[in-house]
Structure 1
Amino acid sequence: MKDNNNKNIISRRSFLKFTGVAIGTAGTGLLTGCGEADVNLVPPAQSEPSSNLPSTWDDSADYIYVGFGGAAAMAAIHTSKTYPNAKILIIEQHTAGGGSTKICGAGTYLGGGTATQTANGFSENADDFYKNAVATAGEGGDADILRTYSDNVKATFDALVEAGVQYQGFNPGYFSSPPNGTSLIFDNERRPEILSAAGLTTPVPHVHFALADTTTTLTRAATMWRSLENKVLALSNVKISYSTEAKSLLTDNTGRVVGITATKDGATKNFKATRAVLLCCGGFINNDEMVKQFIPHAMSCMRGGSGRDKGAGIKMAQAIGADVKLMNAAEDFCPIFMDDPALVRAIAVTPSGDRFAAEDLGGPEMGRLIARQYPDSYIVFDSQTYNEIPEATRTKLQLKTGATIEALASELGIVPQYLAQTVARYNASASGGLDQQFKKGADVLRALNVGPFYAYKRTRSRVFTLSCGGLRINTKTQVLRPDGSVIKGLYAAGATTAHINAQHYLAGGGTSGAFSFGRIAGLEMAKENSWA
């Protein structure tokens, strides 16, 4: 459902013109089939608002949140700061909170001059962060949303630290997750096309990984969630109803959202929200029907989510007339160096033996290519790289080997002369210090000339995927109708909403969006007046 009146939506043409995204990839297919979708997940709302108020209420609060994950935690903390006496009721389907936040990789895309950036010698303000965000956003990215995100992202970092989340140290290597004890790493900021599009000269890292509590067995993510959860549980004005599944939104005869229906212990319950409802109950990556309809390639990928990301919040809101966007968008995360940092010096080739991208591309960009264009590819490297990979990792990779490149090609079913030509071209670029084909960084451009040679298969099944489509919101996190009008009393944040960076999911972008717009939702909802 496209908003033809919004001039700040980044279009395919303007995006390609602005970013020159084809640099570093074999062609412009990165955006193929990924525009907005005109969809109705449920029957459309009636043309005139009508009340569906119950005759009695089972409980009431000033605010009701559907879902208790990162977005809800940030909202509760910040609504309570502004309005300490606010009665907040959190409806959580599971027996415990956390959602995807508790089980994610714990990386969060943050910037604008965070304490961790500054401590490690990096300087950035909100304007520079915004330039980078726009340069990395895919088709359908909303400039206003990105501006609001950029203006609030440092405050989001500060709020996480205040809640007890810890960050320290920087590692310049190529990682999908750095060794524990360091937090800050690069995503795609070093890529020349990103720097050029943003008008920046010095790359600044943004992915902040929370530190794990090494005195326990908790992961980084579980440690991060424990800090946020404890902060919320310490708020006397917050009540959490676990094992409670939200079913529908309740509206008055003006179309204002005034509560929800839910089921608990086999009974239907009606909960009244006298000020506002916040939907923050995940995306739809665990809903097979929706995945098949909107992002069918994900059915053969490694799907993430909490297991309960069924699109409930999206469908509940659309049932009362909410708009959706970017439903065909997905995070497809799979950097070449995901199995080990040393593999950034390998080459990635098609079954025909051709390179198809710069091997130092970030996880979302490389993952998208593998998931949607090259679902069967090979990672090829020489003995130098082989010896840099830990033995335990090498054992897991199911390697093919050959004394020569031609012999390796035969093992892979590739025409030997084709792979030999590809490697020769790559080695010539490495000798000259410049990858003419894809602009791979000179720091990781190394010839493959020490036999024996090795390769293993990288398939679509190795790509980690999340849904990026969802409800359309404004900069205050209010849910919008197709005509751009606000559904009063209804807010949304996190994976229930369309992703802030559109098709080009940034590493740590999911938690960053949830935390940033969860915080904004909490502040904005505190301004709501009671309708009761």
Structure 2
Amino acid sequence: MDFDETVDAIIVGSGAGAVCAALYLKSCNKRAVILEKTDRFGGSTAISGGIVWAPGNMLMRRAGIADSEERALTYFDVVVGDVGPASSLARRKAFLRGIDEALRFLESRGMAFFRQEGYADYYDDRPGGEPRGRTVMARPYDLRDLGEWAAKLRGHGAPAMPINTHEGGRLATVKTTWRGKRAALRVAWRMLVNRLTGRQWVGSGNALQGRLLRLALDAGIDIRLETPVTDLIIDQGRVTGVAVAAPGGPRRIRARDGVLISAGGFAHNARMREHHGPHPASVDWTMANPGDTGEMIEAGQRAGAAVDLMDAVWWTSASLPAPGQRILNVTDVGRPHAIIVDQSGRRYMNEAASYVEVGNNQYARNRTVPAIPSWLILDHRNRSTYPLFMAMPGKTPQAWLDSGYLKRAPTLEALAEDCGIDPQALRETVERFNGFARNGVDEDFRRGARQYDHWLGGDPSVGPNPSLAPLETAPFYALRLYPGDVGTAGGLLTDEHARVLRPDGSAIPGLYATGNSTASVMGRHYPGAGSSIAASLAFAWQAVRHMVGRNDG
């Protein structure tokens, strides 16, 4: 079979797992090529929070925090549950081993990680949960260090402020807490330094992918943008390479050791979402990168691969201020003086829970009561005290009100009528919630009962429960909430070595996959911040270890 060139390994996609895999192969004197179909590097990782969920990670150990595989597996059992082979015991153990080894490897290559005490697991109140947090993040990064590649990093300039994800929740309390003021001073200092020195400090996903890109460039990794894979090449049952639509024309690239698919899911593929996902759904609600369109999952299926968990999605609350625009409301929904109600005017969840859980709850509710969209209800205290997405406290954009995106009314009854909600039902819901807020206990949904509930949306100045405060000060506000997402969580079924499996459980020789291209080891739940990036890293690591014959699991 004729090829235009030969390498040791082909990596499809340019997220965190892809770079980790390429760096490891380079350390083994293997030649890998990263193929990215878009004109930007970094995938959805680059526009994410840039967080990695890693039980028992090296930073926890250095801080003297005892964690163990047994605790993490217990946590998997109670949070993820039994979702089939995608999250088998072997894969859970491979994840835990792989993420630890991958992070230590990256740190040895120069990655600058840190952890933030208190960034709790999303179900920290359950057996095995860790309220002190198992997440690591990349330190802020100066994009000038990338030279001409800075303009090729996805999300360049966004977020506009050099801010780390965990600082967002703290900035929201700048008017009420000293920790909020300190966070604001840190971010303001970085912005000032940027302005005075020409630095381009960024945080979150840009920091993670910017640092990884620098490591890849320093290692001489072959990175090719605008090079979509059009199909897998199979010879006698083995995947031996890929066909690509290169800028110079079609090419066929051979891979001696294997092909690793790390190309994301199908968040922007309306046809696949309509076929596999829950309804209603829309590509207009997704926050995933534009290249998240599912071709590599379908290429794997043509090669004989099995798929699983195709209805699973990494949900996140979103609103739509104008056609083609999306706003991420993750931190808004769990703040004091705010609740979510369905179209009948009733609460139906813990608004401060994991964003994936919020989305799952919205779909579950919609099966019996219209809840897509739902309504985020706020009072004047909320709007004057906290930001609403990027709108500063007390500074409501007039365009939001004029367009009807954000509704405002002098009474709850008037707001309900404007939203098409039963006024009496909304009044009863708010009065019941206000009683919970004053007592500090949400008797319906336990909002604020766990550490995580306070992390992004809580306000330490509010008592007796930092997550609960009454809605009682006019005017009142409402906006429609949709189950947005940051990617899909189902795809190619893989084993503990990240080998792609056929329906009969046998592995397709030469084909590996990781990240959102696969059926997630996390199942349909999100154990903690950075679970999807962590899985991508862990199984990219397992894949290349297996490729070079060093996977001892």
TM-score by length of 1: 0.76
Aligned residues: 451
Q: Which of 483, 487, 490 does residue 508 from structure 2 map onto?
A: 487
Give the conservation status (yes or no) of the 8 Å contact 1:278–1:490.
Answer: yes
Distance 1:243 1:377, change over 3 A: closer
Distance 1:381 1:87, change over 3 A: closer
SS at match of 2:33: strand
| 2:88 is aligned with 1:143 | yes
Q: Which of 434, 438, 444 does residue 445 from structure 2 map onto?
A: 438
Q: Which of 251, 259, 262 does residue 244 from structure 2 map onto?
A: 262
TM-fit CA distance, 1:523: 1.4
CA-based RMSD of the aligned residues comes to: 3.0
The corresponding residue for 1:375 is 372
The corresponding residue for 1:189 is 123
Q: Which amino acid aligns with 1:232?
A: A
Please give the per-residue CA displacement for 1:137-156, whole angstroms capped at 9, x wherever unaligned.
26445132222212333333
TM-fit CA distance, 1:436: 1.8
Distance 1:383 1:342, change over 3 A: farther
- Give, in whole Å, the separation in 2 of the partners of 1:415 and 1:528: 63
Q: Which amino acid aligns with 2:430?
A: V
The corresponding residue for 1:247 is 230
| 2:57 is aligned with 1:57 | no
TM-fit CA distance, 1:105: 2.5
Give the conservation status (yes or no) of the 8 Å contact 1:249–1:316.
Answer: yes
The corresponding residue for 1:6 is none
| 2:517 is aligned with 1:496 | yes
- Give, in whole Å, the separation in 1 of the partners of 2:109 and 2:297: 29
- Give, in whole Å, the separation in 2 of the partners of 1:428 and 1:305: 39
- Give, in whole Å, the separation in 2 of the partners of 1:300 and 1:239: 32
- Give, in whole Å, the separation in 1 of the partners of 2:95 and 2:115: 24
Please give the per-residue CA displacement for 1:113-150, whole angstroms capped at 9, x wherever unaligned.
4415864x754223222322333226445132222212
Give the conservation status (yes or no) of the 8 Å contact 2:287–2:484.
Answer: no
SS at match of 1:338: coil
- Give, in whole Å, the separation in 2 of the partners of 1:228 and 1:419: 49
Give the conservation status (yes or no) of the 8 Å contact 1:108–1:508.
Answer: yes
Please give the per-residue CA displacement for 1:172-194, whole angstroms capped at 9, x wherever unaligned.
5xxxxxxxxxxxx235234x4xx
Q: Which of 66, 90, 102 does residue 12 from structure 2 map onto?
A: 66
Please give the per-residue CA displacement for 1:426-462, whole angstroms capped at 9, x wherever unaligned.
23333443222111125335352642252312321x6
Distance 1:297 1:387, change over 3 A: same
Distance 1:500 1:169, change over 3 A: closer
TM-fit CA distance, 1:355: 0.9
- Give, in whole Å, the separation in 1 of the partners of 2:440 and 2:331: 25
| 2:276 is aligned with 1:294 | yes
The corresponding residue for 1:42 is none
Unpaired runs of 5+ in structure 2? 142-189, 191-198, 319-327, 450-464
The corresponding residue for 1:457 is 479
The corresponding residue for 2:386 is 389
The corresponding residue for 2:293 is 310
Q: Which of 271, 279, 283 does residue 261 from structure 2 map onto?
A: 279
- Give, in whole Å, the separation in 2 of the partners of 1:207 and 1:80: 27
TM-fit CA distance, 1:163: 4.2
Q: Which of 353, 368, 379 does residue 345 from structure 2 map onto?
A: 353
TM-fit CA distance, 1:87: 2.2
| 2:211 is aligned with 1:211 | no
Give the conservation status (yes or no) of the 8 Å contact 2:437–2:468.
Answer: yes
SS at match of 1:334: strand
| 2:210 is aligned with 1:223 | no
| 2:77 is aligned with 1:134 | yes
- Give, in whole Å, the separation in 2 of the partners of 1:149 and 1:497: 13
The corresponding residue for 1:86 is 30
TM-fit CA distance, 1:337: 6.4
TM-fit CA distance, 1:169: 5.5
Q: Which amino acid aligns with 1:457?
A: L
Give the conservation status (yes or no) of the 8 Å contact 1:93–1:244.
Answer: yes
Aligned pairs for 1:104-115 (under 5 A) are 104-115=48-59
Give the conservation status (yes or no) of the 8 Å contact 1:376–1:457.
Answer: no
The corresponding residue for 1:363 is 355
Q: Which amino acid aligns with 1:352?
A: S
Give the conservation status (yes or no) of the 8 Å contact 1:282–1:494.
Answer: yes
Give the conservation status (yes or no) of the 8 Å contact 1:332–1:463.
Answer: yes
Distance 1:408 1:98, change over 3 A: closer
Greater CA drift, 306-315 or 401-410:
401-410
- Give, in whole Å, the separation in 2 of the partners of 1:364 and 1:68: 24
TM-fit CA distance, 1:406: 4.2
SS at match of 1:108: strand
Greater CA drift, 337-346 or 365-374:
337-346
Please give the per-residue CA displacement for 1:327-368, whole angstroms capped at 9, x wherever unaligned.
121111129962548725522212222111112211111123
- Give, in whole Å, the separation in 2 of the partners of 1:252 and 1:188: 45
Q: Which amino acid aligns with 1:88?
A: A
Q: Which amino acid aligns with 1:468?
A: A
Greater CA drift, 345-354 or 153-162:
153-162
Please give the per-residue CA displacement for 1:253-275, whole angstroms capped at 9, x wherever unaligned.
2x122222223245332222222
- Give, in whole Å, the separation in 2 of the partners of 1:403 and 1:309: 43
Please give the per-residue CA displacement for 1:452-511, whole angstroms capped at 9, x wherever unaligned.
252312321x62342111111000011110000011111111221112212224542221
TM-score by length of 2: 0.73
Please give the per-residue CA displacement for 1:81-140, whole angstroms capped at 9, x wherever unaligned.
3x2x22223333234532222222212222224415864x75422322232233322644
- Give, in whole Å, the separation in 1 of the partners of 2:420 and 2:303: 55
